[in-house]
Amino acid sequence: MMAPLRVGIAGLGTVGASVVKMLQVNGADITRRCGRAIEVRAVSARDRDKNRGVRLDSYPWFDDAVQLAATPGLDVVVELIGGEEGVARAVCETALAHGRHVVTANKALLAHQGSALAEAAEARGVALAFEAAVAGGVPVIKALREALAGNRITEVHGILNGTCNYILTKMRVTGRAFDDVLAEAQALGYAEADPGLDIDGIDAAHKLAILTAVAFGSRITFTPDNVEGIRYITADDIRFAEALGYRIKLLGIARRGEAGSDRFEQRVHPCLVPLGTPIAGVEDVFNAVIAEGDFVERVTLIGRGAGAGPTGSAVLGDLVDIACNRFTPTLGFPVAALDPARPASLATRRGAYYLRLMVSDEVGVLAAVATALSVEQVSIERVIQHSRSADQRVPLVLTTHDTDEAAMQRGLATIRGLDSVGDHCLIRIERF
Amino acid sequence: MMAPLRVGIAGLGTVGASVVKMLQVNGADITRRCGRAIEVRAVSARDRDKNRGVRLDSYPWFDDAVQLAATPGLDVVVELIGGEEGVARAVCETALAHGRHVVTANKALLAHQGSALAEAAEARGVALAFEAAVAGGVPVIKALREALAGNRITEVHGILNGTCNYILTKMRVTGRAFDDVLAEAQALGYAEADPGLDIDGIDAAHKLAILTAVAFGSRITFTPDNVEGIRYITADDIRFAEALGYRIKLLGIARRGEAGSDRFEQRVHPCLVPLGTPIAGVEDVFNAVIAEGDFVERVTLIGRGAGAGPTGSAVLGDLVDIACNRFTPTLGFPVAALDPARPASLATRRGAYYLRLMVSDEVGVLAAVATALSVEQVSIERVIQHSRSADQRVPLVLTTHDTDEAAMQRGLATIRGLDSVGDHCLIRIERF
């Protein structure tokens, strides 16, 4: 039997505790699989006395996670602290500098520092593994980096944030308002006290940046410019979308450019997706990732995108790979071979749109709206005017045929200048 | 750069030709990924002159596939001949005996000889890789053997045969009869001239036997006793099922027994699954595999289960793993560590049932049927009698609460003995 794989765990939140528990519960099977044990040899967290639901007293304790990363006698450091800078970054950099494998669930760190960390790992000949950083327990990184490695991946898209999917599902089912459902999600622990990372799309954009790089073999480029969250979606929009045959999902979408292009699409925003498609049926906190390859065609992976068990499962998968000496370049390719292409501006998108306007119920409004769009060559597909009211604004809902984002935005700017138009909501329609 | 991985391909049907084509089209990317080329160094098929849509003239040709497997200078032999015995088996055994890695898409061979081949591979320290054997391009073997390796998998089920799923989908959408749709599928090339392997559930059972072994870490045990196909499903049954809130799918299902049990469930048969669940929405030729782990919970993988591109993609994934020196024991664990448990008899199943009986439209039939079931303690959930006719039999449809398979079969035997009862159709209901 080979020597055990010696693991240090930096960060003992729910995921860290879950990793320890999995090794305690399933350790014998894991040892049989790997022909060696995976042993926790060091742990670190801020509060030593907190009850984490798992026995920790047999593991050497470090108050300082960076010191753990630097301590001799560890083969792997598991970073579960989180955050794009600070301690988490120092832990990963220190571990790599000491020639230790790193396993992390930290999407924010990877989105910002992933390419540099990949270079550091490659220079030291160690693994930087991060299955847990994208879609929790769903093995999307392994699928893209290894299983589909014979394909040219042309597109990847998915539901990458469970909190947003939970909120949208709950709004649809109950008809309740966004703020109301968000407050409930916070009370239930499904959303953070500071929910911005989730509901403004940043968390999904972090994950999409990683996913794009792994799918296309490019450097990781996080760009906040192409990111919208779900704050502006109303229960009415969800209802109107259903009436039109669509469901509203917050999606991350990446598409390769034409051959030879130095730009690809990489964007996060709410989308109308056709009812009846698999992605429309992925509800509550579940995540989904769909990849399109030139030979495999469409592959769909669905599962829990967060939570102690699923995320811990992904960390364990990475540890088993390392214990079995199965190594893959961080982004699928050696760093020097990565594609230099970068995300294009969202303004270059082409596709259909859903537009809901709150308008005064008076003569000529529809004509003015239609004219503003036709001036920009935006062709209207359907119009629904839902109710009539003498003294308040009523929703005017329309969908367009495929058009350019820039033209649509120009048309919308004109419409927003009309006295008879109040609030609006513009959502992109995606038919995969 | 490392020396190229030298590959011999035995069998140049659509999948073999697709593997060659992928290496021609995406070879440069694959070389960048692996840090070495994957090169075809030998090919073999029966007919050298057939047009396969891909250039083959630069590869050494072998009329005899077993001779290819024995020829020096190959690192890997890809077996794409098919069949549970004969040449395919000889090719794999010969290649392993010569210390060459084997990649195969051959589920029939693995279902029958997989454990012995795994032993041979382990004895020689080479890989026996078979992602392509189950669910085509969907990376289920990699997910179970590697990504979910930290979990105890408690259940795996799925739609494993695209031909059956296509036929059931077509019957549902068109209302046409089984024989009619099968003939069309044969004309379109979706079903074989001899369709028995597919429509009698054998192909799905081959795949399930492999999947079960990989999920539970047990030896591969194929048992035809627990297998039913779809020949007896009528368009009426599909319609009645929809009215009851279900869709009919041919599923392979494997469930672990209680702790310490030496038996697990492993069965293939048509099922009623609730409408609205992801698996109910997997239509046409698509496959799906759902795994349940103790930490990751439910993971769902969907994609094309057959065809040149998807199956070739799975073969390439295995070749890339070998080129990158990523090795996994054939069944996840070393052979000596495999669980000795075996499939239990289908008679031990417990669950709900759908029963459709063609009955004479006369007084007392329902009473006789209900009595026959109640004698066996089978409790009826719903009854639907759809139409009335003086001179021909009418369908009587019922569903039961959970009961034992053996009790249900005894009740059915009594019912079949009634003069007023003609044809019947019994389908198990599964709510995952």
SS (H, E, C) A218-233: ECCCCCHHHECCCCCC
Which of A 100-159 lie inside 8 A of B, CB atoms? 131, 137-139, 142-143, 146-152
- SS3 for A320? helix
pLDDT in tens, B17-28: 999 999 999 999
Nearest C-alpha in B relative to A23: B150
Contact B337 A32 (CB under 8 A): yes
- % of chain B surpassing 90 pLDDT: 89
Contact B329 A29 (CB under 8 A): no
Going from the C-alpha of B198 to that of each of A275, B185, B186, the distances in angstroms are: 31, 12, 12
Q: Please name the residue ranges forming H helices in B156-271.
A: 162-174, 178-188, 196-199, 202-216, 235-243
pLDDT tier for residue B4 given thresholds of 50, 70 and 90: very high
Instruction: Tell me if residue B207 is catalytic.
Output: yes
Burial class of residue B187, CB neighbours in 10 A (0-12, 13-18, 19+):
exposed
Put simply, whether B32 touches A (Cβ < 8 Å) is yes
Q: Suggest the residue from B2, B7, B18, B299 to mutate for an interface test with chain A (most A CBs closer than 10 A).
A: B299
Contact residues, A window 343-382, toward B, CB-based 8 Å cutoff? none
Residues 194 to 253 of B: which have CB under 8 A from any A CB? 217
Span A109-137, average pLDDT:
97
Residue B209, pLDDT > 80, answer yes
* pLDDT band at residue A390 using 50, 70 and 90 as cut-offs: low
pLDDT at residue A382, as a whole number: 96
What average pLDDT does the structure give for chain A? 95
Percentage of chain B exceeding pLDDT 70: 99
pLDDT, residue B388, reads: 66
The catalytically annotated residue of A107, A142, A170, A207 is: A207
H-type helices in A189-323, by residue range? 196-199, 202-216, 235-243, 308-323
Q: Are strands A263-274 and A421-429 parallel, antiparallel or unpaired?
A: parallel
Backbone dihedral angles phi then psi of residue A317, each to the nearest 5 degrees: -60, -45
Pairing of strands A76-79, A5-10: parallel
Residue (of B212, B223, B330, B214) closest to B264 by Cα position: B212
State mean pLDDT over B121-126. Answer: 98
- Interface contact flag, A297 B137, Cβ < 8 Å: yes
Query: Do strands A421-429 and B5-10 pair parallel, antiparallel, or not at all (unpaired)?
Result: unpaired
Chain A CB contacts of B321 below 8 Å: 146, 326
Report the distance separating Cα B211 and Cα B332, nearest Å.
11
**3-class state of residue B367 by DSSP:** helix
The domains found in chain B, sorted by start residue, are: 5-133 (3.40.50.720), 140-304+330-346 (3.30.360.10), 349-429 (3.30.70.260)
- State yes or no: pLDDT of A387 exceeds 70: no
Kindly list the distances between the CA atom of residue B243 and the CA atoms of A146, B238, B396, B397, in Å, as whole numbers in the listed order: 43, 9, 14, 11
pLDDT value for A192: 79
Among chain A residues, CA nearest to B295:
A309
Interface of A with B in 256-285 (CB under 8 A): 276, 278, 281-282
CA distance B291 to chain A (A): 10
Report the pLDDT value the prediction gives residue A389, as an integer from 0 to 100: 64
A25, containing H or E segment: helix A14-34
For A58-137, where are the alpha helices, taking DSSP H only?
Answer: 65-70, 86-97, 107-124
Cα dist. A237→A160, A168, A175, A354 in Å? 21, 11, 10, 9
Q: Does B162 touch chain A (CB under 8 A)?
A: no
Taking the C-alpha atoms of residue B356 and residue A209, their distance in angstroms, rounded to an integer, is: 53
pLDDT at A159 over 80: yes
Sign of CA dihedral A65, A68, A70, A75: negative
- Kindly list the residues from chain A whose CB atom is less than 8 angstroms away from the CB atom of residue B217: 29, 32-33
The pTM score is 0.96
Q: Which segments of B344-393 are extended strands (E)?
A: 350-359, 380-385
How far is A420 from B117, CA to CA, in rounded Å? 75
Give the pLDDT confidence of B275-319 residue by residue, as tens digits: 988 899 899 999 999 999 999 999 999 999 989 999 999 999 999
pLDDT band of A310, cuts 50, 70, 90 = very high
Q: How far is the alpha carbon of B1 from chain A, nearest alpha carbon, in Å? A: 12
Model pLDDT for residues A290-305, shown as the tens digit of each residue: 999 999 999 999 999 9
- The C-alpha atoms of residue A410 and residue A378 are separated, in whole angstroms, by 10
How close A354 gets to chain B, by Cα (Å)? 26
- CB atoms closer than 10 angstroms to residue A377: 11
pLDDT in tens, A27-46: 999 999 999 999 999 999 99
A&B contacts, CB < 8 Å: 207
Report CA dihedral (A158, A162, A164, A167) to the nearest 10 degrees: 130
Interface pTM, i.e. ipTM: 0.96
**CA-atom Rg of chain B in angstroms:** 24
A302–B contact, CB cutoff 8 A:
yes
Q: Does A53 touch chain B (CB under 8 A)?
A: no
pLDDT mean over B77-84 = 96
CA of B184 vs chain A CAs: smallest distance (Å) = 24
Is A324 in the B-facing interface, judged by CB distances under 8 Å? yes
Query: In this predicted model, which residue has the larger pLDDT, B4 or A363?
Result: B4
CB contact under 8 A, B295 and A327: no
Average pLDDT over residues A357-381: 94
Task: Please report residues of B whose CB lies closer than 8 A to that of A22.
Answer: 150-151, 295
Minimal CA–CA distance to B289: which of B104, B138, B105, B132? B138
**In this prediction, what percent of chain A has a pLDDT beyond 90?**
89
Q: CA–CA distance from B156 to each of B79, B160, B198 (Å)? A: 27, 11, 20
Please indicate if any CB of chain A lies within 8 Å of the CB of B72: no
Point out the residue among B148, B294, B327 whose CB comes nearest to the CB of A317.
Answer: B148
Mutation for B interface: A313, A319, A322, A331, most B CBs within 10 A: A313
- Partners of residue B294 in chain A, C-beta under 8 Å: 25-26, 309
Nearest to B66, CA basis, from B41, B92, B42, B34: B92
What is the distance between the terminal CA atoms of chain B, rounded to a whole angstrom? Answer: 49
pLDDT digit string (tens) for B366-418? 999 999 999 999 999 999 986 666 668 899 999 999 999 999 999 999 999 99
| B350 strand-pairing partners | B404
Task: Flag if B332 and A35 touch (Cβ within 8 Å).
Answer: no
Element (H, E) at B404: strand B403-404
Task: Find the CB nearest B302 among A30, A149, A300.
Answer: A300
Q: Are A142 and B147 within 8 A, CB to CB?
A: yes
Handedness of CA B416, B251, A316, A92 (dihedral sign): negative
The single-letter code of the amino acid at B183 is: A
Residue numbers in A near B153 (CB within 8 A): none
**Per-residue model confidence (pLDDT) at position A99:** 98
Chain B residue with CA closest to A339: the answer is B29
pLDDT at position A278: 84
Catalytic, out of B142, B170, B207, B249: B207
Looking at chain B from residue 11 to 30, which residues have their Cβ under 8 Å from any Cβ of chain A? 18, 22-23, 25-26, 29-30
Q: Does A317 touch chain B (CB under 8 A)?
A: yes
Is B309 in contact with A297 (Cβ distance < 8 A)?
yes
Task: Report whether pLDDT(A160) > 80.
Answer: yes
Task: Please provide residue B34's backbone torsions phi and psi, each rounded to the nearest 5 degrees.
Answer: -90, -15
Residues from chain A contacting residue B337 (CB–CB below 8 Å): 32-33
The yes-or-no verdict on residue A257 having pLDDT over 90 is: no
**A54 interface with B at CB cutoff 8 Å:** no
| pLDDT at position A415 | 97
**Do A107 and A133 contact (CB within 8 A), yes or no?**
yes
Question: Are A151 and B22 in contact (CB < 8 Å)?
Answer: yes
Q: What's the average model confidence in pLDDT over A231-235? A: 96
Contact A299 B26 (CB under 8 A): no
User: What are residue B326's phi and psi, to 5 degrees?
Assistant: -100, 110
pLDDT bin (cut points 50, 70, 90) of residue B194 is confident
Cβ contact A338:A264 at 8 Å = no
Rounded to the nearest 10 degrees, the angle between the axes of helix A107-124 and helix A86-97 is 10
How many CA atoms within 13 Å lie on the side-chain side of A65? 24
Please tell me if residue B48 touches chain A, with a CB cutoff of 8 Å. Answer: no
Of the pLDDT bands very low, low, confident and very high (cuts 50, 70, 90), residue A194 is confident
The 10s digit of each residue's pLDDT in A62-91 is 999 999 999 999 999 999 999 998 999 999
Q: Does A320 touch chain B (CB under 8 A)?
A: yes
Contact residues, chain A, for B312 at CB < 8 Å: 150, 295
CA distance B288 to chain A (A): 9
| Closest residue of chain B to A137, computed from CA coordinates | B296
- CB-facing half-sphere around the CA of B156: CA atoms within 13 A: 28
Per-residue pLDDT, A381: 97
